[in-house]
A and B are shown apart, each in its own frame.
Chain A
Amino acid sequence: MKNLLRAAAAAAVTVLALTACGGGSSTDPSNVSPAGEVKPREISWLLSRPADGAVINIMTKLADDYAKDHPGFKLNLITTPDRPSYIQKLETLAAANKLPELFDTDATPFAQQLAKQGKMVDADKLLKTLDLYDDYRPGALDYQRFDDGSLFMIPFQFELEFIWYNKALLEKAGVAVPKSLDDIPAMCTSLRNAGITPIAIDGQDQWPLERYVAYQPFREAGPDFVQKLKKGEAKFADAAGQKTVNWMAELGKAKCFQEGFSAQGYSDAQNQFTSGQAAMYNIGTWELPSLATDKLNPAVRDDIDFFTLPTTAGSATSANEFVSPSGIGMAVNSKTYDPLVSDFLKFALQKYPAEYAATGALSPTTTVETTVPANATPLYRKALDQAKDLGSKQAMPWDTQLDPTTNGRLQQELVLLVQGNITPGQFTETMDNTVKQNAPKFFK
C-alpha cells in the first residue's frame, strides 16, 4: 500500500510538473506581424456569446467568405453563453495551457496575469498594424484595457446602459424622473405606496445588483474609486464607500426591488417590467430589440422611456458619463499566432463593423452608421443617439474589476445588505477585510 501511495504521489508530481513546463513556451506577444506564408488550417474561437447572436452569425459568415479564397480554412466557434461555466472552461484550459487561437475574456485580474505571462497578443499594436485602431470608439477600447492602460482584448460590441421606466406608473405614483441618485429611495417609497414594484432586477445573476453599488462612488469620486478599492488603497469605510453602502441599505429599506429578487432570473425581471408591473428596469442597449420595437407588449409600448444614470450634488462625473461597456473582449493567443491568424483577423475585423451595424446594434467603431430596424419605436433612435454624446469617463462594472474572491463575497453581502439581514456597519467591516485578505494575491 505504501508503495502504491508513493507511486501515485510521484505520478501527481510528474503531471503537475509537465503542465508547469508547458506554461513557459510562448512566442513574443508584441510581434504582431509574423513573417511567413499564410497556410490555411482550422482555428478555434472559445467564446461566451449568445449562440445565434449577431457576433457569431457575422463571424461565421465572414469565416465562410475567407475560406472561399483560402481552402482548408475553418473557424470553429465554441460558445458557452452561461458566463460562470464559460469562465470555468477558460480557466481550466489556461491551467492546462491549451487555450485555442482566439478566446473571450473581460479585463479581469486573471486575464491580466495571462497577459503578463505573454500568453496574449498585444491588441494595441495589432490594431495599429492593421490600421484599424483609430476606427474604434475610445470608450470601447478603454473598457477592454487593464489598469496599466495596456490593451489585450478586441471589442465586438458597444452598449449603453440606461434606466428604463414606465411613464404611466411614475405618473400614477405622482413621482418624476429622479434628478439625483439620492432621490431614488424616496421615489421607491412613493411607488410602493401606489402598489407598484419600483425596480425589477435579475437577482439570480448577481451582476445587476452589483451595478448599483458602483453608481454612487462613480458620481462621488469618479472612476478611480474602484481602481483604488480593489487594491485596498480605498475602503468602503471611506466617505464615497460609506455613501454607497448606506444608499444600498436605503434602497432595500424603501423596498426598491421586487420581493424575493435574489432568486429571480433575467427573464423574470424583464417580464415584470414589460408587463407593466414594475416601474423601472436597468439594462443595456442589447435589449433594444425587445424594449424599443413592436415586439414590446402593446399595453406598455407608448409608456416606456429611459433616463441615463442620474448625477448627484457635486458629482465628479457628468451626466453623459455612465456604464458603456463594449462587452466581453476577444483575446488572441500568442502561442498559436501565425500569419494565418493575422491574415484572417485583418480580413474579418475590417468587414465586421458594417455587418454588425446593419443588424441594428452599435458598432465598437465610429466608421459605420447603425441601421434602425423597420419595426423600431422612436425610442430606438433616441437610445442610439446617446452614443454620439458621451463623456470621456465611464463607470466600469465592478465584477470585471475586483479580484474574484472579493467579487463573489461582495455579490453575496450586497443581497444581505439590501434585504436588511446585515447592517451597513457589518457590510463595511466584512468587505474591507475581504479586500485586505484577497487583493494582495492578485494585485502585487
Chain B
Amino acid sequence: MQPNRMLPNRSRTSVLVFLLPPLLLYGAAVLFPILQSLFLSFFSWNGISDMEFVGLDNYVRMFVADDIFWRAFLNALLYLAICLVLQLGGALLVASLLTSLRRGRELIKTLYLLPAIISTVAIAFLFVRIYSIDPVGLLNQLLHWIGLGSLERPWLSDVNTVLAAVSAPEGWRFTGLYMLIIYAALIAVPKELEEAAVLDGASRWTLFTKIRFPYIRPVWITTTIMATTYGLRGFDIPYLMTNGGPGQSSELLTTYMYKTAFTSTDFGYASTISVFIVVECLVAVGLILFLLKRKAES
C-alpha cells in the first residue's frame, strides 16, 4: 500500500472528486452510446417506424447472410495491414535514421509531421488527383517517365488496386506522428548502453534488436495499439475518395455501417455492425498486448 501512504486521506478524496467529472463525461460520451448501440442491435428500426424486437436476427444476418459484411471485414483487415506497415514500419525507419542525423533534424521532423495537420478532405482530393488517369495524375505520369508505362491505370477504378490506393494516404498521413513518438523514445535510450555494446563489437542490427528495441518496447506497444485502433476505425479517406467502390472493392466495415444507417435507414442492423467493430477493436488490443508481452517474457 505504498501509494496510499503518500496521500493523506483528505487529498485522496479530493483526487477522487477531481477524477469524477472526466469519468462521468467518458461514461456519457463513450460508454452510453456503446450500450445504446448494443441495445439497438436487437431491434429492427428505420428511425421513423415502430421499433420491433428481433432478438438475434441481426447478428444471424450479419454472420450468415450478408456477403458485403464479410467482404468489408476482409477489406478492413487489409486496409489495417497496409496502414500499419506504412505507419509503424515507416515511422520506425525514419525515426532510426533521424537519430543518426547530425543536422536538419527539426526540419525533417516538421516536414514528416505536416500531412498529419492537413485536413482529411484536402488529402482525399489531393490523392484523387494523384491517382487519376484522365487527366493524367502524378502517379501515372511518374510511371510513364521512368518507363513503367504498362503499369499506368485508373488506380481508384481498378478493383485490384483501389484498396491499396485508399489505404496509402491514411498510412502516409500519420507516419510523421508515430515517427515523432518513436523518435522521442529512441533518443531516450541511454547512450552508455549503446557505446558499451559498440565497444563489444555489436553490429548496427544487433544494437537495434538487442538494445534499442527492447528499450522502446513500452512505447512501441502504445503506438501499435493507437495505430491499430485508428486503422480499424478508418473511414473518412476511403469514404471521400471512392465511397467504397467500385462495387465493394474498398468498402470497409465503417463505411458499410455508415451506409446501412444513413442510406438504408436500417439503424438496428447498423448498430449490430457497430457492436462488431467495438468488439473487434477490443480483441485487437487484447491480441497485441498478449503477443508483445509474451515476446518480452520469452
Residues of A within 8 A of B (CB): 4-5, 8-9, 11-13, 15-16, 20, 23, 84, 87-88, 91-92, 94-95, 110, 113-114, 117, 119, 197, 203-204, 206, 258-264, 272, 404-405, 407-408, 412-413, 415-416, 419, 421-422, 438, 441
Specify which of B243, B246, B265 is in contact with A110 (CB 8 Å cutoff). B265
Given contacts A12-B35, A95-B47, contact A259 B263 (CB under 8 A): no
Task: Tell me the number of A-to-B contacts counted with CB atoms below 8 Å.
Answer: 111
Q: Is the CB of A421 within 8 A of B132?
A: no
Which A residues lie within 8 Å of B246 (CB)?
Answer: 262, 412, 415-416, 419, 421
Residue from A9, A262, A416, A422 in contact with B39 in the complex, judged by beta carbons closer than 8 Å: A9
With A and B bound together, what is the CA distance between A272 and B46 in angstroms? Answer: 40
Whether A117 contacts B48 by the Cβ 8 Å rule is yes
List residues of B (116-134) whose CB comes within 8 Å of A's CBs.
128, 131-134
Q: In the complex, are the beta carbons of A416 and B247 less than 8 A apart?
A: yes
B31 touches A8 (CB 8 A): yes
Give chain B residues whose Cβ lies under 8 Å from the Cβ of A412. Answer: 244-248
Q: Given contacts A113-B49, A419-B159, is CB(A259)–CB(B133) below 8 Å?
A: yes
Given contact pairs A405-B266, A407-B263, A421-B246, enumerate 5 new A-B contacts (beta carbons under 8 Å): A92-B47, A110-B265, A204-B243, A408-B264, A416-B246
Sort chain B's interface into a size bin.
Answer: 35 or more
Nearest residue in A to B137 (C-beta to C-beta)? A260
A-B contact pairs, 12 of them (CB 8 A): A9-B39, A110-B46, A204-B243, A262-B157, A263-B131, A263-B156, A405-B264, A408-B264, A415-B247, A416-B247, A422-B247, A441-B46
Q: Which of B32, B35, B36, B241 contacts A263 (CB 8 A)?
A: B241
**Docked complex: B130-174 residues within 8 A CB-CB of A:** 131-134, 154, 156-157, 159
Contact B51 A16 (CB under 8 A): yes
Residues of B within 8 A of A441 (CB): 46
Binding site for A on B (CB under 8 A): 27, 31-32, 35-36, 39-40, 46-51, 128, 131-134, 154, 156-157, 159, 241-248, 259-260, 262-267
Contact A415 B245 (CB under 8 A): yes
6 A-B pairs with least C-beta separation:
A260-B154, A95-B47, A263-B156, A416-B247, A405-B264, A88-B262
- Report the separation of the CA atoms of residues A13 and B51 in the bound assembly, to the nearest whole angstrom: 11
Q: Which of A9, A23, A91 has the most chain B CB within a 10 Å cutoff?
A: A91
Docked-complex contact A421 and B247, CB < 8 angstroms: yes
CA of A54 to CA of B206 in the docked complex: distance in angstroms?
Answer: 71
Specify the chain B residue showing the minimal Cβ separation from A113.
B48
Contact B265 A91 (CB under 8 A): yes
Q: Which residues on A sit within 8 Å (CB–CB) of B242? A: 262-263
- Given A262-B246, A405-B266, A8:B32 Cβ within 8 A: yes
- The distance in angstroms between the C-alpha atoms of A95 and B40, with both chains bound, is 14
